[in-house]
Amino acid sequence: MKTRQQIVAGNWKMNKNYGEGRELAMEIVERLKPSNTQVVLCAPYIHLQLVKNIIKDVASLYLGAQNCHQEDKGAYTGEISVDMLKSVGVSYVILGHSERREYFGESDELLAKKTDKVLAAGLLPIFCCGESLDIRDAGTHVAHVQAQIKAGLFHLSPEEFQKVVIAYEPIWAIGTGRTASPEQAQDMHAAIRALLTDQYGAEIADATTILYGGSVNGGNAAVLFSQPDVDGGLVGGASLKAEEFITIVEATK
């Protein structure tokens, strides 16, 4: 049994219409057994209120958003603020997913601002980092991931940083069916924790939840989550099937 908070977050991305989202959330509620693992459903914006109503009586279930805007309010057509997210019961916000960094040009500087907004609202960021295959092949993956974390998070005070969840997601493993090996995941998670120890000290580093993401499924979750520095997962494709998602949740220790 690990002492750090274990978390499994499902990132539904741009999948499921309203009725399908309702069915998925209801089936997760039906199948979920009580445990100390926090389970976060990161549904599309328009599903958030619905999913909140479905999960509200289940202590271990939390509502998550997949993104937010960095300003408080105003003329930003099509955007959603942290206050809006908070007002429908969101607890966690995914920030810096590689798809946001790549397709929407989100920079480290922007992500630092979004992190500040999320924390100022009393919400909890799930801060994503991870390297491309080219970077992994060049052998500079640890330096790359550490640089993303420094740029996005190291302006935070220790009190602020304690609220952050980190998700290591190698880009070559996202949605590809090619999972990092348990050793590759553990090595990177240990390198991240060492960096956090240098910046914030061992007590905070040891208490920080670091998730692995990248083709986690019902078959590989247990061995990934059994690694000493892996504290659960950020799950894309396999979070869209309730039965498999629950198998992944139950793989946390």
Q: What is the DSSP string of 45-111?
A: GGGHHHHHHHHTT-TTEEEEES---SSSSSS-TT---HHHHHHTT--EEEE--HHHHHHS---HHHH
**Is residue 216 close enough to count as binding ligand PEP by CB under 6 A?**
yes
CA-based torsion, 195, 200, 202, 208: positive or negative: negative
Q: Which is nearer to ligand PEP, 139 or 177 (CB)?
A: 177
Q: Which residues are within 8 A (CB) of 63 and not within 5 positions of it... i.e. 6 or more apart?
A: 40, 41, 43, 48, 51, 52, 55, 88, 89, 90, 91, 92
* Dist CA 231 CA 222 (whole Å): 11
Residue nearest to ligand PEP (CB): 236
Q: Which of 106, 131, 169, 229 is the binder for ligand PEP (CB under 6 A)?
A: 169
Q: Which is nearer to ligand PEP, 163 or 241 (CB)?
A: 241
CA-based torsion, 113, 119, 122, 127: positive or negative: positive
**Is residue 214 close enough to count as binding ligand PEP by CB under 6 A?**
yes
Q: Stretches 56-64, 158-166, 185-193, 210-218: which one binds ligand PEP (CB under 6 A)?
A: 210-218
Q: Which of 10, 64, 96, 237 is the binder for ligand PEP (CB under 6 A)?
A: 237
**SS3 category, 194:** helix
User: How many Cα atoms are found within 13 Å in the side-chain-facing hemisphere of 175?
Assistant: 9
Q: Stretches 22-30, 83-91, 118-126, 236-244: which one binds ligand PEP (CB under 6 A)?
A: 236-244
Tell me how many residues contact ligand PEP (CB under 6 A): 13
Give yes or no: 169 in active site: yes
**Is residue 170 close enough to count as binding ligand PEP by CB under 6 A?**
no
Q: Which is nearer to ligand PEP, 133 or 204 (CB)?
A: 133
Q: Which is nearer to ligand PEP, 232 or 237 (CB)?
A: 237
Give yes or no: 159 in active site: no
Q: Which of 97, 106, 131, 189 is catalytic?
A: 97
Strands (DSSP E) found in the chain: 7-11, 38-42, 61-65, 92-95, 124-129, 165-168, 210-213, 232-235
**Known catalytic residues?**
97, 169
Binding site for ligand PEP (CB under 6 A): 11, 169, 174-175, 213-216, 234-238
